[in-house]
Amino acid sequence: MKKHDSLQDLGRFSEPALLILISLADSPKHGYAMTQDIERISGQKLGPGTLYGAITRLEDAKWIEPLPAEDRRRPYKLTSAGTRVLKARLETMRAMTKAAQARLADA
Amino acid sequence: MRNDRLARALLRLYPRAWRERYGDEFLGLIDETGLTSRSAANIVAGAVTQRARLLLAWRTRETDPAVAIHVFASLTAREALIEWPTFCALFAGTVVGLHWLGVPLPLWAWWMQALMQYFLVRSDFVGPVTTPLRRAGIGYYFALEAMALASAAFLSGRLLIAIGLPEPTSDAFLFVPLLAFVTLAVRVGWCAMRSNQPHSEWPGARSWEVRLWRVVGITLFVAVSLGDSDMKTIWGMTTTIFLCRPIMNRLSRTSVARRREAIARLRKARVTP
């Protein structure tokens, strides 16, 4: 059984998954709180199908885990594996940003 | 109230297992965000993705004629009465429909392909699919998928003519679009499987035996096609590739292990999956 080790393995769900991981980085959140938070930090409004498509995959990969439901709201929290994946992805993005900025400065 | 009913209806598009796990919170989210035409479209797209994910999960299980025959032999009379006529009716309808559209493929090849797919796919149904009608439906889906691939060359050729390009020669008409489509389909299928089913692998896809057989198959296909522009060769080879695919999979060590496990499970359970 091969497990995912990178967000890129989630295909078209990699971007929503990254946004969810970022959203859960400071505290557990339920679906609605995640959409609000993601809209605030990225300007993107994730549809319910996209949000739960990504949540399903993140939970399968054991990068997030559900907490006990409160009424119809179920919060999710980041796992240690999820934190590791998020840090790795952010590190890659940081390197990309640095390289892009350097090239723009040279141009 | 109307939105609530619509949300519940949309939720029913998702697979049952998914609904049982995420249904309540999903409805809660829709309740809080409100249901617009855009979010409804997003929910439908999500449902299609989840269904495809489920299909791919089954598809990636080992398929094996030995298991399929074992399973087939254990069909109950009731199941056989529901399943086979349903599958045959669906398939016959498709064949008649495609002939009506003028797709020139010999009937025997379609039936052979369909039956083979059906037998092989049946062995996937150890567990997740329980009703005969659903099994027949999924079997039909795989047979249809295989037929779509087989008809792709013809349809691509028709498309070239329809958009005003010169009529292709016999070789280009069949061979070029077929190769392009098969390559694309394999690539897209692989990517989709990897993104949708993170913990599974295509049976035997990484073993050297399968890679070797794939190279042999492609080389043979190209060599024969270059030497003979007769359409029959192309279709014959296409059908052969489909028929040989499960044999390629059977050769891998992973496949052998999974096959033994599946047969052992069936013998132990002694029930119709």
What ipTM was reported for this prediction? 0.88
Cβ pair A32:B43 closer than 8 A: no
Q: Token pair 């049982």 is at which residue? A: B20
Contacts of B33 in chain A (CB under 8 A): 32, 35, 48
Say whether pLDDT at A66 is over 90.
Answer: yes
pLDDT band at A94 (very low <50, low <70, confident <90, very high): very high
Q: Which of B25, B38, B198 sits opposite A73 (nearest CB)?
A: B25
- Closest by CA to B202, choosing from B248, B136, B141, B262, is B248
Contact assignment for A60 to B43 by CB distance below 8 Å: no
Whether A79 has a pLDDT exceeding 90, the answer reads yes
Spans of chain B below 50 pLDDT: 59-71, 123-129, 187, 190-206, 250-251, 270-273
Instruction: Classify residue B168 by its DSSP letter.
Output: P
pLDDT for B124: 45
Residue A30 contacts residue A76 (beta carbons within 8 Å) = yes
Asked whether residue A75 carries a pLDDT value surpassing 90, the answer given is: yes
- Could you say which of B25, B45, B198 has the minimum Cβ distance to residue A49? B45
Read off the tokens for B167: 């009529």
A12 reaches B (C-beta below 8 A): yes
pLDDT class for A42, splitting at 50, 70, 90? Answer: very high
Shortest Cα distance, chain B CAs vs residue A67, angstroms: 12
Cβ distance of A48 and B198 shorter than 8 Å: no
Terminal CA-CA length for chain A: 46
The pLDDT value given to residue B4 = 84
| More confident position, A12 or A58 | A58
Instruction: Check whether A36 has a pLDDT greater than 70.
Output: yes
Query: Where does chain B have alpha helices with state H?
Result: 2-11, 16-33, 37-59, 65-73, 77-101, 107-122, 132-162, 170-196, 208-227, 231-250, 253-269
Nearest to A74 by CA among A57, A55, A60, A61: A55
Does pLDDT of A30 surpass 60?
yes
pLDDT at B48: 83
